[in-house]
Amino acid sequence: MKKKNSVYMLIAIPAFILFFIFHTYPTLQGIFYSFTDWKGYGDWSFVGIKNYLNVFKDERALDAYGFTFKFAIISTILVNIFSLLVAMGLNGKIKFQKTLRAIYFLPYILSILIVGFIFNFIFTHFLPGIGESLGIEFLSKNILGDPKLAWLGIVLVAVWQSVAFNTILYLAGLVTISEDIYEAASIDGAGVWTKFWKITFPLIAPFFTINMVLAMKGFLMVFDQIVALTGGGPGKSTESISLLIYRGGFEGGEFAYQSANAVIYFIVIVVISIIQLKFLEKREVEN
């Protein structure tokens, strides 16, 4: 028994050490420097909670929070709607089912930056070219250059790529539902909507909870799509919190200040995730 435990310890300890060195230690360092005025170089001194208080007075940070939450909420809702619809379609008795499942999963294995740059070309050159040829004014302009519309392009790309992963999770839930339940419901005269609302949705509730939490967390940390599509522009209209922290911390000499911003944002994401879990789990029990 002792020999067996020793083998487990030999496997677990290196992983723990690597995790601590590359994840926990940098995190603790960031928290430590958030109470200083360190610029990322040179000397530093303690400033207490001054950086944390300044985050709440920073209009640029508040705008970034506003944009990030708007983007995350809308994207989470859209991703879950589309991925559930796609999963239900792919779970049906259709031809080329396995091939279609593979095709729908392709966007997820592509690099976010590469996909972003491809869509950047589409929004900047391809669609405006088609719009000018057909005389469609809405398509004739690059939406990524419009401060009021640029976020729509980011939402479209993020949703298109994220649907694949959420579809897989919903499919995992749908295959666990026995066909006998649907047949019994049909005998009782249940329609398509009744079957979905009374059978399908309650039985995949745990998968809905997972998808909502993972999607929200992922979209709150949006970074790559914005870098590839708009770089945070036009102006600062699509600057997310992650992008602001990166730029301010590593390019703007605000390492300590943005570390405080990162700590606050980490707490915000944890709180939102816990609220989501509590609310959705309560809903699962009620169903």
pLDDT of residue 11: 84
Confirm whether 29 is domain-assigned.
no
Angle at CA of residue 210, ends 204 and 215, nearest 5°? 125
Please give the tally of structural domains in the chain.
Answer: 1
User: pLDDT for 202-244, tens place per residue?
Assistant: 899 989 999 999 999 999 999 999 999 999 889 889 999 999 9
pLDDT-based confidence at residue 190 (cuts at 50, 70, 90): confident
Residue 234 maps to which CATH number?
1.10.3720.10
pLDDT of residue 103: 86
Of 160, 152, 159, the C-alpha closest to 238 is: 152
Angle at CA of residue 263, ends 44 and 273, nearest 5°? 175
pLDDT of residue 96: 84
Mean pLDDT over the full length of the chain: 90
Confirm whether 33 is domain-assigned.
no
Which residues lie below 8 Å from residue 221, measured CB to CB, with a gap of 6+?
242, 269
* pTM of this structure: 0.88
- Would you tell me the crossing angle of helices 150-174 and 112-121 to the nearest 10 degrees? 130
Confirm whether 18 is domain-assigned.
no
User: What domain range includes position 168?
Assistant: 60-286
- Contacts made by residues 228-231, CB under 8 angstroms, sequence distance 24+: 228/112, 228/113, 228/115, 228/116, 228/117, 228/119, 228/120, 229/116, 229/119, 229/120, 229/123, 229/144, 229/150, 229/153, 229/154, 229/157, 230/144, 230/150, 230/153, 230/154
Q: Is the pLDDT higher at 268 or at 102?
A: 268
Confirm whether 42 is domain-assigned.
no
- Would you tell me the crossing angle of helices 25-33 and 255-286 to the nearest 10 degrees? 120
3 has a pLDDT exceeding 70: no
Confirm whether 49 is domain-assigned.
no
65 has a pLDDT exceeding 70: yes
State how far the Cα of 67 lies from the Cα of 60, in Å rounded to an integer: 11
Task: Specify the range with the lowest mean pLDDT, choosing from 69-73, 104-108, 216-220.
Answer: 104-108
Confirm whether 65 is domain-assigned.
yes
Confirm whether 262 is domain-assigned.
yes
Confirm whether 243 is domain-assigned.
yes
User: pLDDT for 124-151, tens place per residue?
Assistant: 999 999 988 888 887 888 899 999 999 9
pLDDT of residue 2: 65
Cβ–Cβ < 8 Å for 244, 261:
yes
pLDDT of residue 277: 86
